[in-house]
Amino acid sequence: MQAFLYRIFNVRSGELGLVLVMSLLLLGNTVARQMSGIVGISDLINTGGVNQTLLVNLINGFLILLTALLISQIVDRFNRIELLKWTSFSFAMVFLLLRVVSMFNVSVKFTAALIYLMSQQQWLVFPMFFWVLANDIFEVSQAKRLIPVIGSWSFVGKLIGIGLTLLPALFFRLGWLSNGELTLEMVMLANVTFYLLAFLLISVQLKNIKMREASKETPSVRENLNEGWQFIREVPSFSYLLMAVIAVSACDVILEFRFFAAAKGEIPDTIQYKEFYSWYLLIAAVVSFLIQSFVTGRLMQRIQIKNSFLIQPLIALGATSAMLASPGLISASISSLVLKISRNTVDEATRKAYQGFVPEERRGRVALFTDNYAPALGMILASALTGLVIIIGQQMAFNLVFYFYLGISAIASLFALWAVLRLRKVYESSFMNWRLKRRKRAVEVLKKLEF
For 386, residues 6+ apart whose C-beta sits below 8 A from its C-beta are 54, 253, 254, 257, 405, 408
Cβ neighbour number for residue 394 with a 10 Å cutoff: 12
In a domain? residue 215? no
Tell me what percent of the chain is helix, strand and coil, each rounded to the nearest 5: 80, 0, 20
Q: Of 174, 206, 238, which one is at a domain's C-terminal end?
A: 206
CATH number at residue 241: 1.20.1250.20
User: What DSSP letter does each residue of 4-37 carry, written as one string?
Assistant: HHHHHHT--TTTHHHHHHHHHHHHHHHHHHHHHH
For residue 12, the one-letter residue type is: R
Same domain, yes or no: 177 and 231: no
- H helices then E strands: how many in the chain? 19, 0
On whether both 412 and 373 belong to a single domain, the answer is yes
Regarding whether 227 and 177 lie in a shared domain, the answer is no
At 140 the pLDDT is 67
Task: Tell whether 7 is covered by a domain.
Answer: no
Residues near 449 by beta carbon (within 8 Å), at least 6 away in sequence:
301, 305, 353
Which residues, at least 6 apart from 344, have a Cβ–Cβ distance to it below 8 Å? 284, 288, 292
> Does any domain span residue 326?
yes
364 lies in the same domain as 439: yes
166 shares a domain with 88: yes
The CA distance from 439 to 428, in Å, is 9
User: Does residue 46 fall inside a structural domain?
Assistant: yes
304 and 172 assigned to the same domain: no
Outline where 326-373 has alpha helix (H). Answer: 329-342, 348-355, 360-367
From first to last of its 451 residues, what are the pLDDT tens digits of the chain?
A: 666 666 666 677 777 788 889 999 999 999 999 999 999 999 999 999 999 999 999 999 999 999 988 887 887 777 889 999 999 999 999 999 999 999 988 899 999 999 999 999 999 999 888 888 887 887 767 777 777 778 888 899 999 999 999 988 888 777 777 777 889 999 999 999 999 999 999 999 888 777 655 555 666 777 778 888 899 999 999 999 999 999 999 999 999 999 999 999 999 998 899 999 999 999 999 999 999 888 888 888 888 889 999 999 999 999 999 999 998 999 999 999 999 999 999 999 898 888 888 887 777 788 889 999 999 999 999 999 999 999 999 998 888 899 999 999 999 999 999 999 999 999 988 888 767 754 444 444 444 444 4
Same domain, 89 and 149: yes
Please name the helix (run of DSSP H) or strand (run of DSSP E) that holds residue 274, with its range, or none.
helix 270-294
2 occurs within a structural domain: no
Q: How far is CA 25 from the centre of its chain?
A: 18
| CB neighbour class for 405 (10 Å; exposed up to 12, middle 13-18, buried from 19) | buried
Question: 225 and 88 share a domain?
Answer: no
Name the packing angle between helices 108-137 and 80-102 (round to 10°). 170
Residue 212 included in any domain: no
The confidence score (pLDDT) of residue 97 equals 96
Q: Containing domain of residue 113, as a range? A: 13-206
Shared-domain flag, residues 359 and 434: yes
Q: Residue 323 in contact with residue 258, Cβ under 8 Å?
A: yes
- Contact predicate 273/267, CB 8 Å: yes
Q: Is 353 among the domain residues?
A: yes
Domain shared by 236 and 370, yes or no: yes
- How far is residue 66 from each of residues 26, 61, 82, 252, measured CA to CA in Å? 24, 9, 21, 21
Query: 41, 261, 32: which is closest to 130 by C-alpha?
Result: 32
What's the pLDDT score for residue 446? 46
Q: Are both 184 and 314 inside the same structural domain?
A: no
Residues 133 and 253 in one domain: no
Domain count, the chain: 2
Q: CA nearest 258: which of 311, 337, 314? A: 337
Whether residue 313 is contained in a domain is answered as yes
